[in-house]
Chain A
């Protein structure tokens, strides 16, 4: 289990370092997704399977989809198709693919090794997290919901344009 932790941590650091040195945002996004998946494996080895699942679903899923959406939206144009073909050269996605393959190997190893028993003795089950979340931390949940509502309203307001200026662009 500790070996899996160190390997996943190394993958996370390596992919993050590669992320901040890429020139193209799309390549950086690939490495960032690999980094988040590696941190998810780290969470699993730390005995937090619920957080590991949320990391994949929300961080690597929802938030990264937003990033990809915006990056692709800003790339619109007549040369976008050519640029996209140049962006997806095999030399660009082999790096993330190798790092993700390491994580996949770890995942398979963990599935084979745990055999339903979980990760060691220090696993904090989702039931405990939920009981704590809706027990002593209930006011925090309410505040988080208000924050999300504020984010929703703010994003909608920033993205809204009056109908008259919509044809200008």
Chain B
């Protein structure tokens, strides 16, 4: 059982992060943007776990736990905002809220 090389783990994390970034930039639906942000956070956590596995330290996994709790808090607030957006504008398009008063 040989170990996975660190380079390939980072390549996977970078690819997932790039896909999430593309999703954030391309999609106009708020739900898709939130899901892409989840993918990006997950990729960042993957990079931490890969680095932690390379040096055999648990610190990478600890940081992943922090990212996980941050993602949970972010998603709960983000989805509440999505519900509020849908209630006020009857749309999930981000262009619908491009003109805000205040």
| Residues in chain A within 8 A of chain B (CB atoms) | 1-2, 5-6, 9, 12-13, 16-17, 19-20, 25, 28-29, 32, 35-36, 39, 42-43, 45-48, 50-51, 54-55, 58-59, 62-63, 66-67, 70-71, 73-74, 119-122, 124, 128-129, 131-133, 137, 140, 144, 147-148, 150-152, 154-155, 158-159, 169
Contact = CB atoms under 8 A, between A and B. Distances in A.
A51 B79 CA distance: 25
Contacts of A71: 31
B46 A66 contact: no
A2 to B, nearest CB: 5
A8 B94 CA distance: 33
Contacts of B80: 154-155, 158-159
A154 B81 CA distance: 10
Interface string B22-36: 110011010110111
Contact of B42 (A13, A59, A122): A59
A39 B46 contact: yes
Given A9-B8, A66-B79, A124-B58, 15 more contacts: A13-B12, A13-B15, A28-B31, A28-B35, A42-B9, A67-B35, A71-B31, A74-B92, A122-B53, A124-B56, A124-B57, A140-B66, A148-B72, A148-B73, A154-B80
Interface of B: 1-4, 8-9, 12, 15-16, 19-20, 22-23, 26-27, 29, 31-32, 34-36, 38-39, 42, 46, 49-50, 52-53, 56-62, 64-66, 68-77, 79-84, 86-87, 92
B68 A54 contact: yes
Nearest to B71: A63
B52 A48 contact: yes
Contacts of B70: 144, 147
A96 B65 CA distance: 27
Contacts of A155: 76-77, 79-80
A119 B12 contact: no
Contact of A13 (B19, B29, B52, B68): B19
4 nearest A-B residue pairs (beta carbon): A151-B73, A20-B23, A158-B80, A120-B1
Contacts of B76: 66, 151-152, 154-155
Contacts of B58: 124, 128-129, 131-133
A1 B69 contact: no
A131 B53 CA distance: 17
Contacts of B57: 124
A36 B70 CA distance: 17
